[in-house]
Structure 1
């Protein structure tokens, strides 16, 4: 009896233990399934934010169908047609009206990080990269009257090839240092002046120290040079100098120290309107030369793009104005003045948060100087940075720079020579 009772107790204990084990296994399996389901759901949610597929977060910008041809050269075939822009919301351009763009005669060479100055009906286009290993050392001229390129001439051998600072008084063009050579070589201190009527060059006093892509403008009889990057191409400079000039000649032997700019860095628009000096957008940091590289091979560094706008007026104190609609850099020669507004074309904005690739801008934006308000006044045929801009008889032109990989990918790819124009009504 005693042995029989022990067996029953043992059997019950085993049965209870087995049930408990099965229940525990079921709970663990359920927990693992729930965890897996959550992880899968979270991954799909994140992935859907970046996938360039058509879904609820996708913006589709339709192509405008022209009902009436514009004046000037027409688009002759489908290869010049502007494609639909389909892109993830992460990459979306700011909302704005469609513009009808005409493709004009391309520049003689493609240019990246070149410079341009408009004097009357002529756009003087300087230097720039052809490729990362080749830089231009000449000037091309575009005539807005007959929409043709011509009049090429050489730059001085000592003059920088990219990331120049530049300003004009309507005849003379004042050129401030920049980067000499291809890849990621450093900046120089050389400055020059070009007489656009005689095509002759003269030296000016060198800057106190080299600067790369400084904000440069002619204001109150003085060439002002601000910010840019220091000799290593990456560290922002805050210094601000000026030099008195008249009729293409320096009136001083040295640059004068002025009030430092509140935030340093390269690739900004610098504009003078109604005796006010504006510095717009830009970035802190840039590519640097790879340590020990004999060709100064470019090496990626972190850059911070910003939307800051600063102004100097009679008080000679920097004032902070309303920021741009979004951060914008690589716009130093991508602006014009139209109807008391500053118009800025393209540029670059903050990098993709996952791929860390550069993101190009595809908008034409306006800063109304009466209201000090920003607005988007149009879309470009594609996104583009370091483009060179002019305006003539109501037409807005842009040429050169580096465009995007396609309608659904805003990362930079091809260096271009294209010239486009559109009628701009403000």
Structure 2
């Protein structure tokens, strides 16, 4: 009979130990991976809102450029940083969203009497009427300031009606009367109002108009073919996109009807869009779906972050009364409802917000000036702003493009929002046809 040798037993024991060791290593690695994932998720969810405090010192986050970005990162107009894995050769842009754009010579003018965010503005001849807006997240303005493009001065302040909204307004003019529609009443993320008013800019007198069927935040608003059109915006919870489209017959500052008429719904809902009428065509540019909401149970309606989708869609209404989709903006753009002017059959749009940072999920501001040529239906990036900024209030006079107010970025290498401003800037604008 042959007995088993001692070396066979030793080999089996070693094999068992190796298997146990490998199993233990796998369990430890899995635990560490799960822990890091939970940490990353916790960090992301702790990112503050775009109302950053003055001591916020957020750092640039390394991200991969999108496929449609230039390979030469210097063309992005942003600082470039390298990942820790130097051997990988990856170069990552700190401000991924900037587009290549020519420089413009900007001149700083007399600042507005107060800083404004989510305010409104209408230009009539050489005067820019600037309405309402946040001063801070806890305070709002309830008056009108006037900027005179001839002598570049501010003056003529007067109060708004007490029941008029303070931000997220819809607004349009016929050259004398300014029609003001709906909006948010109060600071933080308070509720909307359905109230509608008209201002006679010659007499500074206000009148009431029939209220909207339901309140809206930041609806696209424009006068077209004798009717005041109100489209989209956000519903009463401030977040859900609205598709409704209403119109009201108006003339010389008075409503010719007692109720709003239902029109063809807009293809995509949401607030913070530019809206213009050129050569009897109605255009709507950009916008977003979703917005901040009031925190449930908060006595001050404290703003609470929600998911938002910014888009660059462009739509048009003409004689057929059917929405037609046109070429989209060079990149998604929102917070531009008063950030546009019509120059030489082109729409010029100044600043705004775009897709959120893919890692930190913070809001990213735009620092470009876009031109949409209505003859060719082509977009161009025609210049850079002094800084990235949203909710600009824009005017054009005697060859000069002006913008004022809004919320600017944290610096050249950080496109997140920070300070609310009242600055006024202008640049000589030359458009290629």
Common fold by TM > 0.5: yes
Contact 1:61 1:86 in 2 (8 A): no
Q: Residue 108 of structure 1 aligns with which residue?
A: 113
Q: Which among 151, 154, 174 is matched to residue 159 of structure 2?
A: 154
Q: Residue 49 of structure 2 aligns with which residue?
A: none
CA spacing shift, 1:307–1:251, aligned 2, 3 Å: same
| 1:368 and 2:412 aligned | no
Residue 20 of structure 1: CA displacement? 6.1
Contact 2:196 2:212 in 1 (8 A): yes
SS at match of 2:332: coil
Residue 85 of structure 1: CA displacement? 4.4
Residue 285 of structure 1: CA displacement? 1.1
| Superposed counterparts of 1:281-292, under 5 Å | 281-292=286-297
Q: Residue 79 of structure 2 aligns with which residue?
A: 86
Contact 1:50 1:90 in 2 (8 A): no
Residue 92 of structure 1: CA displacement? 3.4
Q: Residue 13 of structure 1 aligns with which residue?
A: 8
CA RMSD of aligned residues (A): 2.6
Cα distance in 2 for partners of 1:101, 1:242 equals 39
Question: Which structure would you say has the larger Rg?
Answer: 1
CA spacing shift, 1:310–1:14, aligned 2, 3 Å: same
Q: Which among 222, 236, 251 is matched to residue 241 of structure 2?
A: 236
TM-score w.r.t. length of structure 2: 0.83
Q: Residue 175 of structure 2 aligns with which residue?
A: 170
Contact 1:336 1:344 in 2 (8 A): yes
Cα distance in 2 for partners of 1:10, 1:95 equals 77
Cα distance in 1 for partners of 2:239, 2:282 equals 25
Q: Which among 183, 187, 190 is matched to residue 182 of structure 1?
A: 187
Cα distance in 1 for partners of 2:74, 2:161 equals 48
| 1:425 and 2:411 aligned | no
Q: Which whole-Å deviations, capped at 9, do the CAs of 1:272-321 have from their partners, x for residues lacking one?
A: 00100001100111111111111111111111111111100011111111
TM-score w.r.t. length of structure 1: 0.84
Q: Which among 327, 332, 341 is matched to residue 336 of structure 1?
A: 341
Q: Residue 208 of structure 1 aligns with which residue?
A: 213
Contact 1:91 1:410 in 2 (8 A): no
Structure 2: 5+ residue runs without aligned partners? 38-60, 81-92
| 1:379 and 2:380 aligned | no
Cα distance in 1 for partners of 2:72, 2:414 equals 13
Cα distance in 2 for partners of 1:108, 1:357 equals 29
Contact 2:189 2:303 in 1 (8 A): yes
Contact 2:95 2:413 in 1 (8 A): no
Cα distance in 2 for partners of 1:329, 1:180 equals 21
Residue 91 of structure 1: CA displacement? 2.5
Contact 1:57 1:89 in 2 (8 A): no
